[in-house]
Chains A and B, each alone.
Chain A
Amino acid sequence: MKHSRRVSSLLILSCITALALAAGPPAGDVGPTYAIRNCRIVPVAGPAVEKGTIIIRDGLIEALGPVDKVRVPDDAEVVEAEGLIAYPGLVSAFSNLFLEQPARPEGQTAPFEVEAQVQPAAGEDRFPPGPGLLVLDQLKPKKAALESFHKAGFTTVLVAPTRGIFQGQSVLLNLNGEPLGPMVLRNGAALHINFTTERGGYPSSLMGTIAHIRQSFIDAEYYAARQAQYAKGPAGLKRPEYDPRLEALVPFVRDRKPVVFQCNNLEDIKRALKIVGEFKLNALLAGANEAWRVADVLKKTPIPLLVSLDFRPPATSMYMTQGEELRKKAEAEIYPANAAALAKEGIAFALVSAANADGGAILRNVRTAIKAGLPKDVALRALTIQPARYLGLDRELGSLEPGKIANVVLVKGEIFDDNAQVAKAFVDGVLFKYAEVSK
């Protein structure tokens, strides 16, 4: 057997070489390769596959297609998914996940209300709101919160700051585990502005706030112009004074980095559009639960909408101040039909989880919106490809396509059905198993 010994030594040599090569991978676990088999696939980007296979390697979708068309690689761990449906992991383009929220007293309306939340006392604030605040610095990821979102099908979120007028800059996270660093898709994703007032200072009125926002953008433009002028030829010019606040604003007003306006009612939508038009901002509107009331305006001036799944009407709405009957109807029927009305008008939007930290409640709200007339496929797009598009992530997320990031949820039942359960979730190719929870 001289021949076989030579083969064996070659084999051993190649194994050692392979091992040696394999032993020097780049930092970070490569992670297992997965082959999800025999499930129904809803890619969103194309027609559904009745019985298919998805191959995940190196955190990406390597292949997907009908069972007989996709070959399972040798190194793949097979995930048997018969009876399950594979969806793209849901994207919430506006959340407050991992932020420690002070408890809101009973009966207060949605956080999108102009009411200031409980604020820390002046001087005690480690994170004073302002355009330079990076919300990433405030995040405290918790396993329970992560799992709650996974179980609702969410794998990607934007986390927005919560306090002040110029609230700060959000961060995009891929919910792939507990350590914060690896989750970050993009820091400083967008500047967030809320139509609220300052506690105990200027501005203390909404009209003051609007003037303040405008003056801030005017000053930022002026600041950028002075810096540019100085840079071009400083001789003879007084040196422009450094201003951290204006410095932080410049990218949004000069370089068209995205700005998100929180719109608590229909008037806020119009107010935001005016400011956006005046300063030619690259903007999105969040909240917008009265968007249906200004559908004609939105058709004339289309703008990305991050529509909150929180249906509580603003307290000042005329639907809330004309007797019990109308108020009940507003809360039970009219406001939950916001998304359905927009869909009917052909107005594009994403659905967002907003301040809700309870995955189950979020899905309940989606189902409510569907019951109120929102088509299921529109709801799914509004939670996948549409927010990905708005966030500039649509080349890598938002649908199940080869080459995209492996964010997949395997659901028992259709994702928006009453009894749907997320059996497994893949985020960046990392597998999370969820025990079947009986109702």
Chain B
Amino acid sequence: MTRRALLIALLIVVLAAFASAQAKTPGVIAIINARIIPVVGGEIPKGTILIKDGLIAAIGADIDVPPGAEVVDATGLRAYPGMIDGYSSLGLVEVSGVAATVDNRETGRINPQARALEAIRYDSMHIPIARSNGITAAVVAPAGGLVSGVSCLLRLDGWTNRAMSVKAAAAMHIELPGIRGGRGGFGGGRGAPQVRADGPALLAELKELFKSARAYEKRRDAAAKNRLLALPEYNETYECLLPLLKGEMPAMISVHSERDIRAAIVFVRDENLKAVFFGVEQGFKAADELSKAGIPVVLGSLYDLPPVWEDGYDALFRNPGLLAKAGVKIAFSSSSASAAKDLPYHAAKAAAFGLDKTEALKAVTINTAEIFGVDKTMGSLEKGKAANIVLADNDILEHRTNIRKVYIDGREADLSSRYTELLEKFKKR
């Protein structure tokens, strides 16, 4: 080469280096060499995901990495969609035995006015722990009474509760009693466990309540149109129930026994409600009805003894598989705050007892997104959806798997937590 050419080459190299140091396209990340499990669509053994403006801009085996993108080499890692918890108390419960830190149970029976989002402690120590295990979104629900309140769906990253909100109102929560026997079936309870008569009786009570709420709405609307009519007194309960009755949010009904499940199916049909059932421990006994009615199911924690001996020692473990086989859309939940990170392991436990492994993965990602109406933005790795991506060194449902990176809305999330802080502190002794 001539000396002049050399000088030009040197200049180009220098300029290029300077350019690359400056011209890093903000927010563009390219995850390369990943084994991609998109959940919707087939697995890509070795592919690329491009993140831009918080969304998945492109995904596939043959994607060109734009210049200036931040490149993340995911060789040896799998890329999953961030998992979604179908029911938790994240941010509402810190130390369960210390009442002052517990905010998920309002007093009284009828509390449609209670809104979980407004009480979320966004810097709860439990949120980073769940996030660092690949959970990027969660339904956070109030509990207790007959009508517990309104849950929200959160992204597990953000500096304020409102900033974390994906859906301020995810569902209206209704709770029917558990199957009596509690620890009974397998814990040595007394005599025959009976389902309390309250299930259908409570639904009847709700029917009346809804009727009154609708009547109230009519009077209110009539008075709004005609000033000569008396304006009814503001009724908080009815007002807060109306969005449910008008179909603006689903009812999430905690229901457990076979008898109550059937009664609840009839109830939601009669009341014309959008519904998702929660808990559903004896769902496998009414699987066909649930499937026909098109009611999705969020399962409660599988870590409970079967309340009825006759259902078998593995009842809660095989329930999800049987429901899925009957065509019911299922999703898993942690039903917890301190054990929220265990979401994937409930799915794996169900897979150990008959649920198809791919179904199990769907039940912690896309199914949950669909049930809560956020499947346009999350639940799978597809172009146009939010870049909620988890890079893991193994199957995300396995206990041994290490999560290397988590992206929420395209931002790399902090994987440190109370666990890691304390560990690091005492390692330094």
Contact = CB atoms under 8 A, between A and B. Distances in A.
B62 interface: no
B327 interface: no
B191 interface: yes
Interface in B283-312: 309-310
Contacts of A315: 190-191
B192 interface: yes
Closest A-B pairs by Cβ, 8 of them: A323-B309, A315-B190, A321-B188, A323-B310, A324-B192, A322-B309, A316-B188, A327-B192
A320 interface: yes
B305 to A, nearest CB: 12
Nearest to B187: A321
A315 B309 CA distance: 15
B318 to A, nearest CB: 18
A316 B190 CA distance: 7
Contacts of A320: 190-191
B189 interface: yes
A113 B188 CA distance: 15
Interface in B141-190: 184, 188-190
Interface string B181-206: 00010001111100000000000000
Nearest to A325: B310
A321 B182 CA distance: 13
Contacts, number: 18
Contacts of A327: 191-192
A321 B189 contact: yes
A107 B188 CA distance: 17
Nearest to A316: B188
Interface residues of A, number: 9
Nearest to B190: A315
B192 to A, nearest CB: 5
Given A107-B191, A315-B191, 8 more contacts: A316-B188, A320-B191, A321-B189, A323-B309, A323-B310, A324-B192, A327-B191, A327-B192
A354 B309 CA distance: 32
B155 to A, nearest CB: 46
Interface in B305-324: 309-310
A275 to B, nearest CB: 26
Contacts of B189: 321
Interface in A312-340: 315-316, 320-324, 327
Nearest to A109: B190
A323 B310 CA distance: 6
Of B184, B191, B310, the most chain A CB neighbours within 10 A belong to: B191
Contacts of B310: 323-324
Nearest to B188: A321
Contacts of A324: 192, 309-310
A314 B31 CA distance: 65
Interface in A267-283: none
Contacts of A316: 188
A321 B189 CA distance: 6
A323 B312 CA distance: 10
Nearest to A108: B190
Contacts of B184: 321
B286 to A, nearest CB: 20
B315 to A, nearest CB: 12
A327 B310 CA distance: 12
A316 B191 CA distance: 9
A316 B184 CA distance: 11
Interface string A95-113: 0000000000001000000
17 contacts: A315-B190, A315-B191, A316-B188, A320-B190, A320-B191, A321-B184, A321-B188, A321-B189, A321-B309, A322-B309, A323-B309, A323-B310, A324-B192, A324-B309, A324-B310, A327-B191, A327-B192
A320 B191 CA distance: 6
A248 B413 CA distance: 76
Contacts of B188: 316, 321
Of A107, A320, A321, A327, the most chain B CB neighbours within 10 A belong to: A321
A316 B188 CA distance: 6
Contacts of B192: 324, 327
Contacts of A322: 309
A371 to B, nearest CB: 24
Interface string A277-312: 000000000000000000000000000000000000
A343 to B, nearest CB: 29
Nearest to B310: A323
Nearest to A323: B309
A320 B188 CA distance: 8
A192 B189 CA distance: 29
A323 B193 CA distance: 9
Nearest to A107: B191
Nearest to B193: A324
Interface string B32-62: 0000000000000000000000000000000
A323 B191 CA distance: 9
A229 B260 CA distance: 73
A101 to B, nearest CB: 22
Interface in B213-272: none
A327 B193 CA distance: 12
A139 to B, nearest CB: 33
B195 to A, nearest CB: 13
Nearest to A324: B192
Nearest to B192: A324
Nearest to A321: B188
A104 to B, nearest CB: 15
Interface in B61-105: none
A366 B189 CA distance: 29
A268 B191 CA distance: 21
A44 B184 CA distance: 48
A339 B184 CA distance: 30
B196 to A, nearest CB: 15
B309 to A, nearest CB: 4
A320 B184 CA distance: 11
Nearest to B309: A323
Contacts of B191: 107, 315, 320, 327
Contacts of B190: 315, 320
